[in-house]
Amino acid sequence: MNDHAAVIDASFFLGAFLSEFCNDEEKNARDYISKIIQNNGQIYVPQLFWFEIGNVLTNAVKPKKDGSARRLSLPQFLTVYQNIRELPIYTDPQPDSETQLRISNLAVQYNLTFYDASYLELAIRTSLPLKTFDRKLLQYYNQDYIAKLEKSIKQTKTGFAAEKKLEELREMEK
Protein backbone atom coordinates (compact mmCIF):
# COMPACT_ATOMS: atom_id res chain seq x y z
CA MET A 1 0.00 0.00 0.00
CA ASN A 2 1.40 3.39 -1.00
CA ASP A 3 1.02 5.59 2.07
CA HIS A 4 3.14 8.45 0.74
CA ALA A 5 1.15 9.64 -2.26
CA ALA A 6 -2.11 9.01 -4.09
CA VAL A 7 -4.59 10.55 -6.49
CA ILE A 8 -7.67 11.15 -4.36
CA ASP A 9 -11.01 12.16 -5.80
CA ALA A 10 -13.56 14.41 -4.11
CA SER A 11 -15.87 11.52 -3.13
CA PHE A 12 -13.11 9.78 -1.18
CA PHE A 13 -11.82 13.01 0.33
CA LEU A 14 -15.19 14.36 1.41
CA GLY A 15 -16.39 10.94 2.54
CA ALA A 16 -13.41 10.77 4.85
CA PHE A 17 -13.87 14.18 6.43
CA LEU A 18 -17.47 15.32 6.12
CA SER A 19 -19.58 12.23 6.68
CA GLU A 20 -22.21 12.51 9.38
CA PHE A 21 -21.93 8.82 10.15
CA CYS A 22 -18.58 7.11 9.92
CA ASN A 23 -18.80 3.64 8.42
CA ASP A 24 -15.81 1.37 7.90
CA GLU A 25 -15.21 2.59 4.35
CA GLU A 26 -15.11 6.25 5.43
CA LYS A 27 -12.96 5.42 8.46
CA ASN A 28 -10.50 3.61 6.19
CA ALA A 29 -10.45 6.65 3.90
CA ARG A 30 -9.78 8.95 6.85
CA ASP A 31 -7.00 6.66 8.08
CA TYR A 32 -5.44 6.45 4.59
CA ILE A 33 -5.36 10.24 4.17
CA SER A 34 -4.06 10.70 7.71
CA LYS A 35 -1.25 8.25 6.99
CA ILE A 36 -0.24 10.20 3.88
CA ILE A 37 -0.12 13.39 5.96
CA GLN A 38 1.82 11.71 8.79
CA ASN A 39 4.37 10.39 6.29
CA ASN A 40 4.87 13.86 4.80
CA GLY A 41 3.28 12.53 1.64
CA GLN A 42 1.31 14.19 -1.11
CA ILE A 43 -2.28 14.08 -2.33
CA TYR A 44 -2.56 14.60 -6.09
CA VAL A 45 -5.69 16.09 -7.64
CA PRO A 46 -6.76 17.57 -10.97
CA GLN A 47 -7.89 21.20 -10.92
CA LEU A 48 -11.55 20.26 -10.93
CA PHE A 49 -11.12 18.79 -7.43
CA TRP A 50 -11.27 22.30 -5.98
CA PHE A 51 -14.51 23.07 -7.83
CA GLU A 52 -16.06 19.84 -6.56
CA ILE A 53 -14.96 20.56 -2.98
CA GLY A 54 -16.15 24.17 -3.23
CA ASN A 55 -19.50 23.08 -4.62
CA VAL A 56 -20.16 20.54 -1.86
CA LEU A 57 -19.12 22.98 0.87
CA THR A 58 -21.17 25.81 -0.65
CA ASN A 59 -24.24 23.57 -0.79
CA ALA A 60 -23.67 22.66 2.88
CA VAL A 61 -23.89 26.39 3.75
CA LYS A 62 -27.06 27.04 1.74
CA PRO A 63 -30.41 26.50 3.42
CA LYS A 64 -31.94 23.13 2.55
CA LYS A 65 -34.98 23.11 0.27
CA ASP A 66 -37.08 21.42 2.96
CA GLY A 67 -36.38 24.34 5.32
CA SER A 68 -34.17 22.36 7.68
CA ALA A 69 -31.01 23.88 9.09
CA ARG A 70 -27.82 24.31 7.12
CA ARG A 71 -25.13 21.72 7.69
CA LEU A 72 -22.39 24.39 7.93
CA SER A 73 -22.39 28.03 8.94
CA LEU A 74 -20.40 30.48 6.81
CA PRO A 75 -17.58 30.70 9.40
CA GLN A 76 -17.46 26.89 9.55
CA PHE A 77 -17.31 26.75 5.74
CA LEU A 78 -14.40 29.19 5.66
CA THR A 79 -12.55 27.25 8.37
CA VAL A 80 -13.06 23.89 6.67
CA TYR A 81 -12.05 25.27 3.28
CA GLN A 82 -8.91 26.92 4.71
CA ASN A 83 -7.98 23.71 6.55
CA ILE A 84 -8.34 21.74 3.33
CA ARG A 85 -6.17 24.28 1.47
CA GLU A 86 -3.41 23.74 4.04
CA LEU A 87 -3.20 19.98 3.44
CA PRO A 88 -0.38 18.58 1.28
CA ILE A 89 -2.42 18.65 -1.91
CA TYR A 90 -0.66 19.00 -5.24
CA THR A 91 -2.96 20.37 -7.91
CA ASP A 92 -2.06 19.16 -11.38
CA PRO A 93 -1.64 22.10 -13.77
CA GLN A 94 -4.17 22.90 -16.45
CA PRO A 95 -4.05 19.91 -18.80
CA ASP A 96 -2.42 20.49 -22.16
CA SER A 97 -4.11 19.34 -25.35
CA GLU A 98 -2.43 15.92 -25.26
CA THR A 99 -3.59 15.31 -21.69
CA GLN A 100 -7.10 16.47 -22.56
CA LEU A 101 -7.13 14.02 -25.44
CA ARG A 102 -6.06 11.16 -23.15
CA ILE A 103 -8.82 12.14 -20.72
CA SER A 104 -11.35 12.19 -23.56
CA ASN A 105 -10.16 8.78 -24.77
CA LEU A 106 -10.56 7.29 -21.28
CA ALA A 107 -13.99 8.89 -20.83
CA VAL A 108 -15.25 7.47 -24.11
CA GLN A 109 -13.50 4.13 -23.65
CA TYR A 110 -15.01 3.47 -20.23
CA ASN A 111 -18.19 5.53 -20.47
CA LEU A 112 -16.96 7.82 -17.68
CA THR A 113 -17.56 11.51 -17.17
CA PHE A 114 -14.72 13.74 -18.26
CA TYR A 115 -14.38 14.60 -14.56
CA ASP A 116 -13.86 10.99 -13.49
CA ALA A 117 -11.59 10.28 -16.45
CA SER A 118 -9.37 13.19 -15.36
CA TYR A 119 -8.68 11.42 -12.05
CA LEU A 120 -7.99 8.15 -13.86
CA GLU A 121 -5.63 9.83 -16.34
CA LEU A 122 -3.74 11.55 -13.51
CA ALA A 123 -3.32 8.24 -11.66
CA ILE A 124 -2.04 6.57 -14.83
CA ARG A 125 0.33 9.41 -15.71
CA THR A 126 1.78 9.67 -12.20
CA SER A 127 1.76 5.90 -11.52
CA LEU A 128 -0.02 6.56 -8.24
CA PRO A 129 -2.90 4.68 -6.64
CA LEU A 130 -6.35 6.13 -7.24
CA LYS A 131 -8.61 6.46 -4.22
CA THR A 132 -12.33 6.92 -4.85
CA PHE A 133 -15.70 5.73 -3.58
CA ASP A 134 -16.96 5.66 -7.18
CA ARG A 135 -17.44 1.95 -7.87
CA LYS A 136 -17.51 2.39 -11.65
CA LEU A 137 -14.24 4.30 -11.62
CA LEU A 138 -12.66 1.70 -9.35
CA GLN A 139 -13.78 -1.00 -11.74
CA TYR A 140 -11.46 0.46 -14.37
CA TYR A 141 -8.65 1.08 -11.97
CA ASN A 142 -7.12 -2.36 -11.92
CA GLN A 143 -3.38 -2.42 -11.33
CA ASP A 144 -2.56 -4.97 -14.03
CA TYR A 145 -4.62 -3.24 -16.67
CA ILE A 146 -3.43 0.21 -15.64
CA ALA A 147 0.18 -0.95 -16.00
CA LYS A 148 -0.53 -1.95 -19.59
CA LEU A 149 -2.30 1.35 -20.29
CA GLU A 150 0.47 3.34 -18.67
CA LYS A 151 3.13 1.63 -20.76
CA SER A 152 1.10 2.20 -23.91
CA ILE A 153 0.43 5.87 -23.21
CA LYS A 154 4.04 6.62 -22.26
CA GLN A 155 5.31 4.97 -25.45
CA THR A 156 3.14 7.11 -27.70
CA LYS A 157 3.40 10.78 -28.54
CA THR A 158 -0.25 11.50 -29.27
CA GLY A 159 -3.58 10.47 -27.86
CA PHE A 160 -4.61 8.99 -31.21
CA ALA A 161 -1.71 6.56 -31.11
CA ALA A 162 -2.60 5.77 -27.49
CA GLU A 163 -6.17 5.08 -28.52
CA LYS A 164 -4.95 2.55 -31.10
CA LYS A 165 -2.76 0.90 -28.46
CA LEU A 166 -5.75 0.76 -26.07
CA GLU A 167 -7.76 -1.05 -28.74
CA GLU A 168 -4.90 -3.54 -29.16
CA LEU A 169 -4.83 -4.10 -25.40
CA ARG A 170 -8.58 -4.71 -25.33
CA GLU A 171 -8.16 -7.37 -28.00
CA MET A 172 -5.38 -9.00 -25.97
CA GLU A 173 -7.67 -9.04 -22.90
CA LYS A 174 -10.35 -11.07 -24.75
125 burial via Cβ count (<10 Å: 0-12, 13-18, 19+) = middle
1-96+113-141 fold:
Rossmann fold (3.40.50)
Domain residue extents for the chain: 1-96+113-141
Predicted pLDDT of residue 144:
46
Residue 77 pLDDT level (bands cut at 50, 70, 90): confident
Whether the predicted pLDDT of 22 surpasses 60:
no
Helices (H) and strands (E) in the chain, counts: 9, 4
Q: Indicate yes or no: pTM above 0.85.
A: no
Query: Which of 46-60, 67-81, 89-103 has the lowest average pLDDT?
Result: 67-81
Whether the predicted pLDDT of 174 surpasses 90:
no
Residue 107 pLDDT level (bands cut at 50, 70, 90): very high
Nearest residue to 47 via CA among 110, 105, 118: 118
148 burial via Cβ count (<10 Å: 0-12, 13-18, 19+) = middle
Alpha helices for 21-67 (secondary structure H): 24-38, 48-61
- Phi and psi dihedrals of 69, rounded to 5? -65, 155
